[in-house]
Amino acid sequence: MNSDPLRIVIVLIIAVFSVILHELAHGVAAYWLGDRTAKDAGRLTLNPLKHIDPFMSILVPVILYIMKAPVFGGAKPVPVNYRNLKGREWGMALVAIAGPLTNFLIALIAFLIGYFSGALRHDPTGVSYFIFAELVYLNLGFMLFNLIPIPPLDGSRVLYAIAPDSVREIMNKMEVYGFIIVYALILIFGNVFSSLMLNGMEGIINFFYLLVGQQ
């Protein structure tokens, strides 16, 4: 498969599909835990127009792919009112973890289908290999990126649930500038960040191979 435009289109479709399911998982988890905010906002839907952020859902993943860097991205955050959630902070942690968990499950299911169908074991230059490989790698990238414990990323919601009040105060102050901090860290420590992401992805993929009996 040598067509770069086709590769970019495939990556874009997978990225949009993955971030939509990620955000939908947040909304569904919140609904199950008692908060109707996402449902009332019309976000419990697979309609991409309700979820896509042109910058984070399209531009960032494509640019990272072209740069051969670990691909990550996001969508419009699903609105959640944690005061309505059962368990409050712990409920918010469950809502947050639902997104990365969904990406992990997509990666695992794609790996298993690709492996047992032969798509990931034959012809690494083929379209089917590329599709399944990108389903795995992009979703693992989304998962690991969102688990970074810096507000407003999902990992911070889990940290917030177990953190002492002093740490929570700092995290609350960081909320507005969280993405700026994350991007600054990536720009300054880009090579370290890429290495950590790739090592994390490779470790999970090795675990997948263990699941199917491959060392």
Q: Of 23, 89, 169, 202, which is the active-site residue?
A: 23
Q: What are phi and psi of 214, to 5 degrees?
A: -105, 135
Compute the distance between CA of residue 35 and CA of residue 44 in angstroms, rounded to an integer: 12
Name the residue among 55, 92, 15, 80 with its Cα closest to residue 183: 55
Catalytic residue check, 23: yes
Question: Which residues lie below 8 Å from residue 114, measured CB to CB, with a gap of 6+?
Answer: 120, 128, 129, 132, 133, 135, 136
What is the distance between the alpha carbons of residues 211 and 40, in angstroms, rounded to a whole number?
A: 40
Distance of CA 113 to the CA centre of its chain: 20
29-33 long-range contacts, Cβ below 8 Å, gap at least 24? 29/94, 29/95, 29/98, 30/78, 30/80, 30/85, 30/95, 33/85, 33/86, 33/87, 33/91, 33/94, 33/95
Report the catalytic residues: 23
